[in-house]
A and B are shown apart, each in its own frame.
Chain A
Amino acid sequence: MKKSKGLKAVNRRAKRLEEREVFGMEEIDIMTGMPIGCTTIFDTGWETNPRPSTPIGNCVSSARDFTTCSGPCWWPAQTPDAITNFNGFHNQCLAIERDWRNLNYVIKR
């Protein structure tokens, strides 16, 4: 759960909003025109992250590879936990922006 400095959930509904996965695409209106990643589409024009969330302005795929993909979407071969069996990658990489170097090479053992 991402804690905000400014707002602190008090009732149950607020706690649910706080836990809501905003990094996914489903709930933000501005995203509705965007194609959801899939290997059959090369999503030109969608190279930078248009979401008001980190990594701001970053390449979308870089963000999705690490934190969003877990199913069949978007370059699945590069999804850390779906293909490589490196299920615990997040233990070494608590904050992706900071700790991504710890991932080193992910080799299937």
Chain B
Amino acid sequence: MTKYKVAEHKTIRAMERDFLFLAAEKAIFEMDRPTRDLLGRWSEAGERTREEVTAWLVDLPEAERAELFEGLLQRRAIVPANGAAPHGPYVNASEAKVPLKTLILHVTEACNLRCTYCYQAEAGEREASGGKQAMSREVAQQAVDFLLEHSGPLEDLVIVFFGGEPLLNFEVIRFVVDLATEKAREAGKRVSFALTTNGTVLTDEIARFLDEKHIGVTVSMDGVQEVHDRYRRFPDGSPSYEIILPKVKALLERPHSRPVVARVTVAEQAGRVREILRHLIGLGFLEAGFAPVTTGHPEFQLDEAAMDQLLEEFKGLAAEFVEAAKEGRFLGFSNVIDLLVSFHQGEVMNYPCGAGLGLFSVDPEGRLYLCQRFTGQADFRMGDIFEGFDRERLARFRLEAEISNKQECKECWARTICTGGCYHEACVREGSHLKPNLHYCAWIRKWGEVGLQAYCEIAAERPEFLDMLSMSRGYPPQTDGQVEEKGGSSNEEE
């Protein structure tokens, strides 16, 4: 007799309703009470045959018992006890031809700031840039062609301007935007653009250009003045906050066709995240996203106490976000938005990000790297835009980086949320980009729980809000099959 068990899961109680998160599937269901009780009992009992479980359901008519069992099996809430656990629609990217979607162009390697925590400075030996710190028009043009040539059936492509400080090479940015827009139109495709800047060289002219060309802008800003100026300084050591503030304000006050968001590196003051978010939103940013600094230097690393503080701050903001969402208001806390959208889409990934799949970075010489964080590091070079991808190296990377190689991840319920985490972070902290980021596993699991709770509370109260968030991240709405409002017939007790 085939035995079945309850699939690896988390249960969530939100707004007096019960939800089920299937860890392997990243699927979220609402449970009625009999199902919740059944799954609870079954989880404790372990492996059981269909007959054994059906015998627990004597109160139900026979047809309903069968329906309940089959419904659970179809939705993979229960799985056969022997045999491999069913999993999501994994793609073997080493064999499949993955089309190129995103190129990150390092239009210059030069930067006018010398932020003390910057990973660029820590990367050590960089490949010789041949004296060319800035990308030429020839290289830029080839990069555009390379993107279009390798984009396969994709119609919506992305070019990101990165650096150094990309606006130090504004001429090439302007050149690429016009060229790529035109060439994409000829090819029946569209390219959207994004730019990450430190804000120091913004002008009216640049701001007008960013608006006219619909360029999404991310400003690296660490928040209130004293926190920002702690690390973000000019080469002479002078602070940058007062320099960028009027420029950023001018940018934010202008009409902008695409959102302008802030990116905060948390190097200390982990306990001031809420204050910093309020400050940045007060300045006019649509959103702000926070990330602990990536560094091998213990001096800058957040210690355990600081990470705990960070989690408390995030929890507080998640709660604020949920309260706002229930009233249909938006709070621009990027971290929780990204997490909620990832739950809403429920995409099961076998790689933590698109690096080396549909996304690559290009240095001023035209060399291709895994992503912008690895630019200049020979070990992570994946060919160049003139000769093409280094297919052999790329195939090996895709094979090795796949999550099934990460033993620790197999046992973790949150594997579909982080998939081992950032390659660059792992490279710096764990010694290899192929290792899972064990130093923040516990943190991610706690944050995942916070996110699940937040997700279910919003799903119970205002499900359309989750659709809206997803649309802000470029996903289509999921109009059918929403969780019904309270009082809906599906969840009434009988």
Residues of A within 8 A of B (CB): 2, 4-18, 20, 22, 27-30, 32, 52-54, 56
> B322 to chain A: closest CB distance in Å?
15
Q: A14-B28, A18-B75 are in contact. Are A52 and B69 (CB under 8 A)?
A: yes
Are the CB atoms of A7 and B80 closer together than 8 Å? no
B30's nearest neighbour on chain A, judged by CB, is A8
- Contact, CB under 8 Å: A4 / B343: no
B residues neighboring A (CB under 8 Å): 2, 19-20, 22, 25-32, 34-35, 38, 50, 64, 66-77, 79-80, 82-84, 86, 88, 343-348, 455-456, 459, 463, 478, 480-481, 483, 490-491
Q: Are B71's CB and A7's CB within 8 A?
A: yes
Is B67 within 8 A of A4, CB to CB? yes
Contact A8 B29 (CB under 8 A): yes
CA A68 to CA B343, docked complex, whole Å: 33
**CA gap between A30 and B1 in the complex, in Å:** 10
* CB atoms of A6 and B80 under 8 A apart: no
A22 touching B70, Cβ below 8 Å: yes
CB-nearest residue of chain A to B463: A10
B28 touches A7 (CB 8 A): no
Could you list 19 examples of A-B contacts with CB < 8 Å? A6-B68, A7-B32, A7-B72, A7-B75, A10-B29, A10-B483, A11-B28, A14-B22, A14-B25, A14-B27, A15-B481, A18-B74, A18-B75, A20-B74, A22-B70, A22-B73, A30-B80, A32-B83, A54-B66
- The reply to whether A29 and B83 contact each other, CB–CB distance below 8 Å, is yes
List, in ascending order, chain A residues with CB within 8 A of B480's CB. 15
For the complex with contacts A12-B344, A22-B74, A56-B66, 16 further pairs of A-B residues with Cβ separation under 8 Å are: A2-B74, A4-B72, A4-B75, A6-B32, A6-B68, A6-B71, A7-B32, A7-B75, A8-B30, A8-B483, A9-B481, A10-B456, A13-B28, A20-B74, A29-B80, A54-B70
Please tell me if the beta carbons of B68 and A5 are within 8 angstroms of each other in the complex: yes
Which partner residue on chain A sits nearest B63 by CB separation? A54
CB distance from B86 to the nearest CB of A (A): 7
- CB neighbours (8 Å) of A13 from chain B are 25-28, 88, 345-348
Task: Determine the residue in chain A with the shortest Cβ distance to B77.
Answer: A7
A64 to B30, CA, bound (A): 32
Interface residues of chain A: helix, strand, loop or mixed (majority): loop
Given A7-B31, A8-B30, A17-B25: A2 and B71 within 8 A (CB)? yes
In whole Å, how far is A8's beta carbon from the nearest beta carbon of chain B?
Answer: 5
Say which residue of A8, A16, A52 sits within 8 Å of B70 (CB atoms): A52
Are A17 and B27 CB-contacts (below 8 A) given A11-B346, A28-B80? yes
Within the complex, the shortest CB–CB distance from B116 to chain A, in Å, comes to 41
A2 CA / B67 CA spacing, docked (Å): 10
Least CB distance, A10 to chain B, in whole angstroms: 4
Interface SS of chain B: mixed
Kindly report which residue of chain B lies nearest to residue A7, judged by CB atoms. B29
Measured CB to CB, the nearest residue on chain B to A23 is B74
Task: For A8, list chain B residues within 8 Å (CB).
Answer: 29-32, 481, 483, 490-491
Q: CB-CB < 8 A to B74: which residues of A?
A: 2, 4, 17-18, 20, 22
Residues of B within 8 A of A12 (CB): 344-347, 478
- Give bound CA distance, A13 to B71, whole Å: 15
Note all chain A residues with C-beta closer than 8 A to B73.
Answer: 22, 28, 52-53
Residue of B nearest to A29 (CB): B83
Of all chain A residues, the one with the shortest Cβ separation from B19 is: A10
Give the 6 A-B CB pairs with smallest separation, nearest first.
Answer: A13-B346, A4-B71, A6-B35, A14-B27, A29-B83, A7-B29
Pick from A2, A9, A52: contact of B29, CB under 8 Å:
A9
CB neighbours (8 Å) of B478 from chain A are: 11-12, 15
CB neighbours (8 Å) of A29 from chain B are 79-80, 82-84, 86
Please name all residues of chain B whose beta carbon is closer than 8 Å to the beta carbon of A6 when the two chains form the complex: 31-32, 34-35, 38, 68, 71-72
Report chain A residues within 8 Å CB of B77: 7
- Closest-by-CB residue of A relative to B475 is A12
Q: Is the CB of A5 within 8 A of B86?
A: no
- Nearest-neighbor residue (CB-CB) of A20 within chain B: B74
- The answer, among B19, B67, B75, B347, for a CB contact under 8 Å with A5, is B67
Across the interface, name the chain B residue whose C-beta is closest to A1.
Answer: B481
Cβ of A7 and Cβ of B20 under 8 Å apart? yes
Q: Which B residues lie within 8 Å of A17 (CB)?
A: 25, 27, 74-76
Query: In the complex the two chains form, what is the Cα distance from A6 to B345 in whole Å?
Result: 22
Give the distance in Å from the alpha carbon of A54 to the alpha carbon of B67 in the complex. 9
Q: Is the CB of A52 within 8 A of B50?
A: yes
Also in contact, A14 and B344, with CB within 8 A (given A29-B80, A52-B69): no
Minimum CB–CB distance for A97 against chain B, Å: 10
A20 to B74, CA, bound (A): 7
- CB B38 to nearest CB in A, in angstroms, measures 8
The smallest C-beta distance from A78 to any residue of chain B, in angstroms, reads: 25
CA distance A56 to B66 in the complex (A): 9
Closest chain B residue to A50 by CB distance? B2
